């Protein structure tokens, strides 16, 4: 199968290419470890770059392209996850852990001194 037409070739319009590159930097390669599709040499990343460039060239909004890719490949494809039924724990877990830490630290430092005053 021949490579995608815009896998390695940039768009002629510098403004559209800049939009495409900005979007590609926020999309994760599905087979590479911690690489964006902009940086990856994998064939699927090249195919995704080509799709992004073709859609940008056609005048499509970058956010619409991101949503299309998320629908096609899942939330994992985006480095900027959106709040949804499957991702809300990612947003809630840090807040819950901070609250738990505050409660435990407060108990440790205020609970220990109150018990010593009663025996003295």
Q: What is the pLDDT of residue 71?
A: 93
Q: What is the pLDDT of residue 27?
A: 97
pTM of the predicted protein model: 0.71
Q: What is the pLDDT of residue 119?
A: 54
Measured in whole angstroms, the distance separating CA 45 from the mean position of its chain's CA atoms is 16
The helix (run of H) or strand (run of E) holding residue 47 is helix 43-57
Q: Which residues of the chain have pLDDT under 50?
A: 120
Q: What is the pLDDT of residue 7?
A: 93
d(C-alpha 116, C-alpha 120), whole Å: 7
DSSP secondary structure, 61-84, as one string: -HHHHHHHHHHHH-GGGBSSPPP-
Q: What is the pLDDT of residue 2?
A: 63
Q: What is the pLDDT of residue 86?
A: 74
């Amino acid at each position: 199968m021949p490579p995608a037409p815009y896998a390695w070739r940039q768009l002629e319009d510098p403004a559209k290419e800049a939009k495409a590159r900005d979007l590609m930097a926020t999309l994760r390669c599905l087979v590479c470890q911690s690489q964006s599709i902009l940086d990856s040499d994998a064939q699927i990343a090249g195919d995704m770059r080509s799709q992004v460039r073709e859609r940008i060239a056609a005048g499509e909004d970058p956010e619409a392209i991101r949503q299309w890719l998320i629908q096609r490949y899942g939330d994992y494809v985006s480095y900027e996850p959106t709040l949804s039924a499957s991702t809300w724990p990612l947003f809630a877990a840090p807040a819950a852990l901070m609250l738990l830490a505050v409660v435990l630290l407060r108990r440790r430092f205020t609970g220990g001194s109150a018990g010593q005053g009663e025996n003295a």
